[in-house]
Chains A and B, each alone.
Chain A
Amino acid sequence: MNPRLTAPPKVAISITEACPLSCKHCYGDCGREARPAELSIGEWREAIARLAADGVISLHIEGGEPLLKPGFLDLLAEASRSMFTMVRTHGTLIDAAMARALRDAGVGRVLVDVMGATGPTHEWFTGAPGSFDASVAAVRHLVACGVATDMLLILTRQNAPEVQDLLDLAAGLGAERVGVLRLYPLGRAKRIWQEIALPLADQMRTLGALRVPAGLTLMQSWHPNDHNCCWQSAAVIANGEIVGCPYLREYVSHGNLRSTTLLEAWRTAPLWQVLRAGAVERSCPDCSAAEGSHGGCRATAYAWHGRWTAPDPFDVTLNDGVDLSVLPDRLLPA
Chain B
Amino acid sequence: MTVSISVFCPTDCFRLEPGVRLRPVPELGHCLAYTPARPALHRLNPSAWLLAELADGRPLAAIAADFGEAMAEIGGEAKLSDVEAALVGLIELGIVGKLATPATEGSQNA
Chain B: minimal CB distance from A143 (Å): 15
Q: Is B46 in the interface zone, CB < 8 Å from A?
A: no
Could you tell me if B39 and A57 are in contact, using CB atoms closer than 8 angstroms?
Answer: no
Q: Is A3 in the interface zone, CB < 8 Å from B?
A: yes
Chain B: minimal CB distance from A95 (Å): 21
Could you tell me if A57 and B23 are in contact, using CB atoms closer than 8 angstroms?
Answer: yes
A6, A9, A109: the one within 8 Å of B32 (CB): A9
The closest CB in chain B to the CB of A58 belongs to: B41
Q: Which residues of B contact A106 (CB under 8 A)?
A: 36, 39
Could you tell me if B19 and A3 are in contact, using CB atoms closer than 8 angstroms?
Answer: no
Could you tell me if A108 and B41 are in contact, using CB atoms closer than 8 angstroms?
Answer: yes
Could you tell me if B28 and A3 are in contact, using CB atoms closer than 8 angstroms?
Answer: yes
Chain B: minimal CB distance from A78 (Å): 11
Interface set, chain A 1-48, CB cutoff 8 A to B: 3-6, 9
Known pairs A81-B19, A83-B34; A57 contacts B41 (CB<8 A): yes
Could you tell me if B39 and A108 are in contact, using CB atoms closer than 8 angstroms?
Answer: yes
Q: Which residues of A contact B19 (CB under 8 A)?
A: 81
Q: Which residues of B contact A118 (CB under 8 A)?
A: none
Chain A: minimal CB distance from B1 (Å): 42
Q: Is A293 in the interface zone, CB < 8 Å from B?
A: no
Could you tell me if A107 and B34 are in contact, using CB atoms closer than 8 angstroms?
Answer: no
Could you tell me if A57 and B34 are in contact, using CB atoms closer than 8 angstroms?
Answer: yes
The closest CB in chain A to the CB of B29 belongs to: A3
Known pairs A57-B34, A106-B36, A108-B39; A82 contacts B27 (CB<8 A): no
B21, B23, B27, B34: the one within 8 Å of A6 (CB): B27
Known pairs A106-B39, A107-B39, A108-B39; A57 contacts B32 (CB<8 A): yes
- Encode contact with A along B81-99: 1 for CB under 8 Å, 0 otherwise: 0000000000000000000
Interface set, chain A 272-330, CB cutoff 8 A to B: none
Q: Is B65 in the interface zone, CB < 8 Å from A?
A: no
Could you tell me if A4 and B27 are in contact, using CB atoms closer than 8 angstroms?
Answer: yes
B25, B36, B39, B40: the one within 8 Å of A9 (CB): B25
Could you tell me if A5 and B27 are in contact, using CB atoms closer than 8 angstroms?
Answer: yes
Could you tell me if B27 and A80 are in contact, using CB atoms closer than 8 angstroms?
Answer: no
Could you tell me if B39 and A85 are in contact, using CB atoms closer than 8 angstroms?
Answer: yes
Q: Which residues of B contact A124 (CB under 8 A)?
A: none
Q: Which residues of A contact B39 (CB under 8 A)?
A: 80, 84-85, 106-109, 148
Q: Is A55 in the interface zone, CB < 8 Å from B?
A: yes
Q: Which residues of A contact B25 (CB under 8 A)?
A: 5, 9
Q: Which residues of A contact B27 (CB under 8 A)?
A: 3-6
CA distance A9 to B26 in the complex (A): 11
Chain A: minimal CB distance from B17 (Å): 13
- Encode contact with A along B24-50: 1 for CB under 8 Å, 0 otherwise: 010110001010100111000000000
Chain A: minimal CB distance from B94 (Å): 13
Could you tell me if B23 and A55 are in contact, using CB atoms closer than 8 angstroms?
Answer: yes
Q: Which residues of A contact B23 (CB under 8 A)?
A: 9, 55, 57
Could you tell me if B36 and A80 are in contact, using CB atoms closer than 8 angstroms?
Answer: yes
- Encode contact with B along A71-82: 1 for CB under 8 Å, 0 otherwise: 000000000111
Pairs A–B under 8 Å by Cβ, sample size 18:
A3-B28, A4-B27, A5-B25, A5-B27, A5-B28, A9-B32, A55-B23, A57-B23, A57-B32, A57-B34, A58-B34, A81-B36, A82-B21, A82-B36, A83-B21, A83-B34, A85-B39, A108-B40
Q: A3-B28, A57-B21, A148-B39 are in contact. List 11 more A-B contacts (CB 8 A).
A: A5-B27, A5-B28, A57-B41, A58-B32, A58-B34, A81-B19, A83-B34, A85-B39, A106-B36, A106-B39, A108-B40
B-to-A contact residues, CB < 8 Å:
19, 21, 23, 25, 27-28, 32, 34, 36, 39-41
